[in-house]
Amino acid sequence: MKQMRAGVYRGSGQVVAEDVPVPEIYHGEVLIRVAACGICGTDVKKVRHGLVPPPQILGHEIAGTAVGIAAGVRGWSVGDRVISFHHVPCGSCFYCERQLFSQCPEYKKVGVTAGFDPNGGGFAEYVRVMPHIVKRGMVRIPDGVSFEEAAFVEPVNTCLKAIRKARVTEDEVVFVIGQGPIGLLLTFLAKEAGATVLTSDPLPFRRRMSLRFGASASFDPAIDDLQVETQSFRRGLGADAVLLAAPDPQLAMVGLNIARPGGRVLLFAQNDPTMQIQFQASAVGIEEKEILGSYSAAVDLQEEAAGIVFKHHSLLGELISHRFELNSIAEAFAMASQPSDNSLKLMVYP
């Protein structure tokens, strides 16, 4: 059997480049030659905290070229440039009927793999896309958009879903805590929705990028009082919505303090199953502030998210700060685990 290179999670925080078999495809499936795959914060959490059993080949922000088309596939041809989601809901269960797609049992089954237990597989030269993903989870990349830019379709979808869950509208003030790649996408999308956006991040480079992506002001949480700054900006009121794009559990209370009475706080980065969060009950029970959650992508936003990426691909490409060959996957994960002052999106090129 043909061999390929892949970044394999081997436990104890280790991701190593090694040879594995090229996945075979079956009826209704497509084989993609991966051109670029972004490292997601979820990938980092899985590796650092051992949230999945090894061995695994992670990576789900996938863009590449279809190189194998099995019998039964319609609408796709060898040579098509594509991105692929790794989850697709059934569309007919209790949760799908209520547009809670990420809670659908079928959605929780990963449909893209490079080997071992299916878990995305984008950190490999080739990935096998299963029939339900081929039918509803692949998107064609237009001319003029690079593979690395197209790889933002999945993370933009997740952020667009969060903006909708937080009910961000025109003329609101939105505060985004954390200006890593996801925080910057949330800032951009909140601005696109018509909101005035304030942000915070401890790294100067990320605060500067925040202004580039639409923030009216960006603060250093080590120096600035975010609640006071927001109320000063808003003439005594807090933010209408606060989006948490950094995984610190203490940020929930920070977000509640920034939000005005009746405002919303959305937990985006607080998805570690081992994390415990405490907050002042009166913020919810008396001040009527809402705590919301948003996880993963939404199938009904695929077309819209792709359109946003393809329209703004040059700007989104500025989020890529470091590029790694597959043989340097260990170095890439080390940087993703401990971001440097000038690091944002890390992209792997199998």
Helices 204-212 + 181-192 axis angle, to 10: 30
Using the Cα atoms of residue 40, residue 45, residue 48 and residue 51 in order, give the sign of their dihedral. negative
pLDDT, mean over the chain: 96
Spans of all domains in the chain: 3-156+297-349, 167-293
pLDDT of residue 339: 83
HEC per residue, 190-205: HHHCCCEEEEECCCHH
Q: What is the CATH number of domain 167-293?
A: 3.40.50.720
Q: Please give the DSSP secondary-structure letter assigned to residue 57.
A: -
Q: Which residue(s) pair with 219 in the sheet?
A: 200
Torsion angle of the four alpha carbons 243, 249, 250, 256, in this order, in degrees rounded to the nearest 10: 40
Which region among 40-54, 197-211, 232-246 has the lowest average model confidence (pLDDT)? 40-54
Q: What is the CATH number of domain 3-156+297-349?
A: 3.90.180.10
135-190: per-residue pLDDT in tens? 999 999 999 999 999 999 999 999 999 999 999 999 999 999 999 999 999 999 99
Mean pLDDT over residues 218-222, rounded? Answer: 97
229-260: per-residue pLDDT in tens? 999 999 899 999 999 999 999 999 999 999 99
pLDDT of residue 69: 98
pLDDT of residue 1: 61
Helices 153-165 + 181-192 axis angle, to 10: 60
